Structure 1
Amino acid sequence: MDFLEESGFSASTGIYYSKWDSPCLPQAPNLSLPTFLLSFSPQLLSKPAFIDAKTGDKLTYGELRALTKVVTSALHSLGIKKGDVVLLVSPNFLHFPLLVLGIMSLGAVFSTANPLNTRQEIETQVQDSNAVLILTTQELQTKLDGLLSRPLILVEPFLENLINGPPPPPTCKLPHVTQDDTASLMYSSGTTGKSKAVVGSHRNLIAMSCLLRHVWIAGGTGDEVYMCVVPLFHMFGLSVFVCGVLAVGSTTVILRKYALEDMLMAMEEFGVTRLPAVPPMVVQLTRTNEVVKAYGLGTLKEVICSGAPLGREHMERFTMCFPQVTLSQCYGLTETNGPVTLCDGIGGRFHVSIGRIIPSMEAKIVDIRTGKALPPRQYGELYLRGPPVMQGYLKSQEATCLAIDTDGWLHTGDLCFIDTSGLVYVVDRIKELIKYKAYQVAPAELEEILVTHPEVVDAAVISHPNEEAGEIPMACVVKAADSKLKEEDVINFMANKVRNSFPSLVAPYKKIRKVVFVNSIPRSASGKILRRHLRASSTFQRLEITSKL
């Protein structure tokens, strides 16, 4: 293969190949994700798989395997059959992974919704997915009652009865589950448009488990204690803490709801070594460093950030506050069933790149105008191909064909480049690029600078229609408490960056030309800015723009 230096790029194919050795993926057709994950060695039987951060209750690997069979039998006795969609609407809790495995063991399809969604949003998802059963918590019962003719199953009494009560009646022979069967129906974050149901097979999730295990064990990070504060109803949480951590035989400490001091207390108590996080958590760790110092985090080795780009300013501040901790980034999509780039094995205290593509994956950087595959250090759309890539979007052949071409390449919609070492960098979402006159402006570049202002807590940049320029960059800014920051202060701050310290980053056409102050920036569970919510806001619809072009 004619690789170019260390980048993994082949000039003859236009493809970037992973520099990691690829493991052999299981080929047995009759294999489910639960069977694969629960076929562990006897040495793991008494080891905690999951620990409740607040109560200290533990679920060992042996208990996880035994109780998965019990949950499967109980669901079967409720009439759930292969192919049925079961919706779990719940925050994190100790037995969340158990329900995931129990549903999939039956050949049913696991789906989830954000508990913060409105009743109408969840009803839309229930109808779209044809869910036949909803598992939820007592707190959410009122919001979800009546969405299905079948009664809700409240997870607390359901599990308590299974764990402490008599075993469910023995089931008839369960259906065969194959790698090609649908395992999950996870909804995309819908940052720029309507959320879509991503169909994931057992083969997709088994591949993700194998590839994470291969990288983590090769990097010496197999026997770790992970902190789970990101939501398990999101693909980042599901892939890392169900597929990945169980595959390597590590332990996960689960926090029901993110709160900084609760997380720090649990990390100290249970000796957490790795913390997967989203950008707002990393920012909070640095801004509340004095609070963090009160806790013993000597075991913490790495924070792995994903979900949205993390600005260099925040990375540098983090390394100053936590000199003993490596700050890494990874990248994945709901459509890839988890992370497809990792920073494992890359030297350095923090990683501006999102790492290298994982084993068995291939990538292309494609010119968004010509469709030509690009060599290292040139911007283009990131295409991905490999075993974890989804089967498609539910009930939408058109959307599937737009996302995955006839050669099997997933078009991510992300503007990226790969350097000569094979490290991948995200510039921005292509759909979010602002088309100012003849130029394209990446909002993420401007947001990274805006948050360096001492009186800016958070910021987002969106486009706004303009008759002369087509679109202009408009900043939505959350001010610090008691700040007297005005629109012209923000505009002048950015203009000074053009003239002074960021000449290569903020070219004159990238200047902020309008500012509005907001109470908060809407974000997804993974930290992505929900720009469509900002654009749809009635506040912005009523704005009178008198922009400086």
Structure 2
Amino acid sequence: MLSEEHATSGYETSTGIYHSLLPFPTHLPLHSSVLTLPSYLFSLPLPSVSHPCFIDASTGTTLTFTSLRHLVSLAAFRLLSHHGLKPHDVVLLVAPNSLYFPVVSLAILSLGAILSPANPLLTRSEFESQITDCSPSLIVTTKSLSSKMSNLIPNPLLFIEDFISDLLTNPKPTVQAPLKLPCERMKTSDPAVLMYSSGTTGKSKGVICTHANLISMTHVLSHVWGGTGTGNGAGADTGTRDVYACVLPLFHMFGFSVFVMGVLATGATSVIVPDRFTPDRLMEAVRKYSVTRVPVVPPMLVMMTRKGHVAGGGGAGSLKEVVSSGAPLAREHMERFARCFPGVRLSQCYGLTETSGPVTLCDGVEGLLHISIGRVIPTMEAKIMDISNGESLAPNNIGELCLRGPSVMQGYLRNKEATSIAIDKEGWLRTGDLCYIDSHGCVYVVDRIKELIKYKAYQVAPAELEEILSSHQEIQDVAVTSHPDEEAGEIPMACVVRKSGSKIKEIDIIVFIRDKVAPYKKIRKVIFLDSIPRSPSGKILRWRLRSRISNLNKIDVQARL
């Protein structure tokens, strides 16, 4: 029973656990033939034959739900018959967003093979490291990436362009349904996707998510976004009327979970905007295809607000919501967005590669501007853990966010130590994020625990200082980190990227923030950089930042000698 005091927050006093208050079916409607994510997706009621599933914004090429299902079946048959792909084989997929990224992904998963998508921007040495870790039997990529990917494994590269062209021109043998494997060869607990964490604090780790993890997340997202509140999945009353613009990288869990899983299950349309993200390309797609919802990462949103004059009166009236995730969003950027896009709801959500997608959503939270990252999704439990003693904390107390539920990963590939540190014996995943949950069940991120700066035993959150500094008119980008100090232990140091033409100096920044924070939070050192290292989702890669600072210090020492 929830105490009367905490009923609106979902907090259970006797256990210290927060539960979602959103109505939701108690179980997944699975049957014996649903063993993989594709078999679950294709077991849902499909929209009409002509209803578009994926649209390429640059060419107008369209895949309906029927043609997607057929093409996935053909691709799976070809991967099995021509390339010998077997259950549990790892396939490295290295490609930019395209209409056929979901096709190849679902074909691989339908065979029980393990999909490992990777960022095309990785260096060859980074690919070598990942390949050593996961031992793929096949690499699927594009011709433009062939020089970077060739001869990394014994088997030849499979180019998406040739593969899809061959399927379209030589579709025989015709397969009317997704390829089925003998049930005894597959379990929903088998690994499905192997994604590598962004490595914000060090070397990235291979995150193993099972088919059960992905199906659970898909079911939740289809319920939340399906539009009926009944969890009917594809073809729900308003789900099929929604149109999503896909500008997120599909190799990242945020993009993959939203577009290859959640949106597909609702029966909505995804408009894929290929090539490098620009606000102009996005808004052109919004106007042309009457896009209603756009998931983004913070750097994209910042770029959109700088082009706000284009969007504000440019025929983008269909746009109802922009959803930001991947990194904290500064209040200044939220307020600027509200001015540039009046009437458009700005929401935040929160998820991890380790949770197979978003685990908080602003669904049901009133208002157009959401400082919170939303409420915990159905099926997921949360705790706020005191970082000093491990005790569970009641609403409005800050501690580490811990999560438990069916979408939490199986573990890290060949890394039992890291897995045991991340997930305790009761199944709680330690996120490493400092958060609190208010009396309405809304979750707020304060900072990363490992990134807290300890100044004379005081804890300083870099994100708080970064938000203040980002409001300075001459600062393009900023990251705050610690700098060793003999007296204080650590002092807050700002790493600043100046805007073009700016001549701002260290003392200007120190004075700017001095009266805006408590004395122990003051910026006491500033260095200027050409760029801040960030992950594709916009997170500051602080370990790379520290490495860059170390190199600068070495150069400075050598210059003095």
AA partner of residue 61 (structure 1):
F
Change in 2 beyond 3 A, CA 1:377/1:149: same
Does the residue aligned with 1:131 lie in a helix, a strand or coil? coil
Aligned residue number for residue 479 of structure 2:
460
Change in 2 beyond 3 A, CA 1:318/1:526: same
Distance of 2:133 and 2:537 partners within structure 1? 23
- Residues 194 and 209 of structure 2 are in contact (CA less than 8 Å); yes or no, is this contact kept in structure 1? yes
User: Which of 10, 26, 31 is the aligned partner of 1:28?
Assistant: 31
**Structure 1 stretches of at least 4 aligned residues deviating more than 6 Å after TM superposition:** 169-173
Aligned residue number for residue 500 of structure 1:
none
The runs of 5 or more residues in structure 2 that have no matched partner are: 230-236
Change in 2 beyond 3 A, CA 1:167/1:318: same
Distance of 1:27 and 1:229 partners within structure 2? 31
Change in 2 beyond 3 A, CA 1:524/1:314: same
Aligned residue number for residue 269 of structure 2:
251
Distance of 1:352 and 1:42 partners within structure 2? 36
AA partner of residue 182 (structure 1):
P
AA partner of residue 289 (structure 2):
F
Change in 2 beyond 3 A, CA 1:391/1:30: farther
User: Which of 364, 368, 380 is the aligned partner of 1:345?
Assistant: 364
Q: Deviations over 1:277-326 (max 9, x none)?
A: 00011111112222334632110000000000101111111111111100
Aligned residue number for residue 124 of structure 1:
129
Distance of 1:305 and 1:351 partners within structure 2? 10
- Residues 74 and 174 of structure 2 are in contact (CA less than 8 Å); yes or no, is this contact kept in structure 1? no
- Residues 48 and 60 of structure 1 are in contact (CA less than 8 Å); yes or no, is this contact kept in structure 2? yes
* 1:238 and 2:237 are equivalent in the alignment: no
Matches within 5 A, 1:364-513: 364-497=383-516, 506-513=517-524
How far apart are residue 464 of structure 1 and its match? 1.6
AA partner of residue 535 (structure 1):
R
Distance of 2:442 and 2:180 partners within structure 1? 49
RMSD: 1.7
Does the residue aligned with 2:294 lie in a helix, a strand or coil? strand
Aligned residue number for residue 213 of structure 2:
204
Does the residue aligned with 2:251 lie in a helix, a strand or coil? coil
How far apart are residue 37 of structure 1 and its match? 0.6
- Residues 30 and 178 of structure 1 are in contact (CA less than 8 Å); yes or no, is this contact kept in structure 2? no
How far apart are residue 182 of structure 1 and its match? 1.0
AA partner of residue 49 (structure 2):
L
- Residues 29 and 178 of structure 1 are in contact (CA less than 8 Å); yes or no, is this contact kept in structure 2? no
User: Which of 4, 8, 11 is the aligned partner of 1:9?
Assistant: 11
* 1:93 and 2:98 are equivalent in the alignment: yes
User: Which of 155, 160, 177 is the aligned partner of 1:155?
Assistant: 160
User: Which of 167, 174, 178 is the aligned partner of 2:187?
Assistant: 178
Change in 2 beyond 3 A, CA 1:92/1:517: same
Matches within 5 A, 1:52-71: 52-71=56-75
AA partner of residue 285 (structure 1):
M
Distance of 2:337 and 2:192 partners within structure 1? 38
AA partner of residue 205 (structure 1):
L
Distance of 2:553 and 2:112 partners within structure 1? 47
Aligned residue number for residue 239 of structure 2:
222
Distance of 1:106 and 1:115 partners within structure 2? 24
* 1:525 and 2:531 are equivalent in the alignment: no
Aligned residue number for residue 50 of structure 1:
54
User: Which of 133, 136, 141 is the aligned partner of 2:146?
Assistant: 141
**Structure 1, 95-104 or 292-301: larger mean CA deviation:** 292-301
Distance of 1:436 and 1:183 partners within structure 2? 44
Does the residue aligned with 1:400 lie in a helix, a strand or coil? helix
Change in 2 beyond 3 A, CA 1:364/1:29: farther
Change in 2 beyond 3 A, CA 1:471/1:105: same
* 1:535 and 2:546 are equivalent in the alignment: yes
Aligned residue number for residue 502 of structure 1:
none
- Residues 74 and 171 of structure 2 are in contact (CA less than 8 Å); yes or no, is this contact kept in structure 1? no
The sequence identity of aligned pairs, in percent, is: 58
- Residues 491 and 513 of structure 1 are in contact (CA less than 8 Å); yes or no, is this contact kept in structure 2? yes
Distance of 1:395 and 1:45 partners within structure 2? 44
AA partner of residue 201 (structure 1):
T
Distance of 1:25 and 1:448 partners within structure 2? 41
How far apart are residue 539 of structure 1 and its match? 4.0
Distance of 2:507 and 2:49 partners within structure 1? 63
Q: Deviations over 1:402-442 (max 9, x none)?
A: 00000010000000000000000000110111111111111
Distance of 2:32 and 2:529 partners within structure 1? 53
AA partner of residue 346 (structure 2):
L
- Residues 225 and 252 of structure 1 are in contact (CA less than 8 Å); yes or no, is this contact kept in structure 2? yes
Does the residue aligned with 1:464 lie in a helix, a strand or coil? strand
Distance of 2:55 and 2:110 partners within structure 1? 22
The runs of 5 or more residues in structure 1 that have no matched partner are: 498-505
Change in 2 beyond 3 A, CA 1:222/1:89: same
How far apart are residue 399 of structure 1 and its match? 0.7
Change in 2 beyond 3 A, CA 1:391/1:88: same
Distance of 1:333 and 1:468 partners within structure 2? 37
Aligned residue number for residue 74 of structure 1:
78
How many aligned positions are there? 537
Distance of 1:273 and 1:30 partners within structure 2? 34
Does the residue aligned with 1:34 lie in a helix, a strand or coil? helix
Change in 2 beyond 3 A, CA 1:173/1:235: closer
**Structure 1, 100-109 or 211-220: larger mean CA deviation:** 211-220
How far apart are residue 196 of structure 1 and its match? 0.5
AA partner of residue 113 (structure 1):
A
- Residues 30 and 179 of structure 1 are in contact (CA less than 8 Å); yes or no, is this contact kept in structure 2? no
Does the residue aligned with 2:78 lie in a helix, a strand or coil? helix
In the superposition, the TM-score normalised over structure 2's length comes to 0.93
Distance of 1:119 and 1:433 partners within structure 2? 33
AA partner of residue 67 (structure 1):
L
Distance of 1:411 and 1:42 partners within structure 2? 37
Distance of 2:337 and 2:214 partners within structure 1? 32
Distance of 1:147 and 1:431 partners within structure 2? 35
Aligned residue number for residue 514 of structure 1:
525
- Residues 329 and 351 of structure 1 are in contact (CA less than 8 Å); yes or no, is this contact kept in structure 2? yes
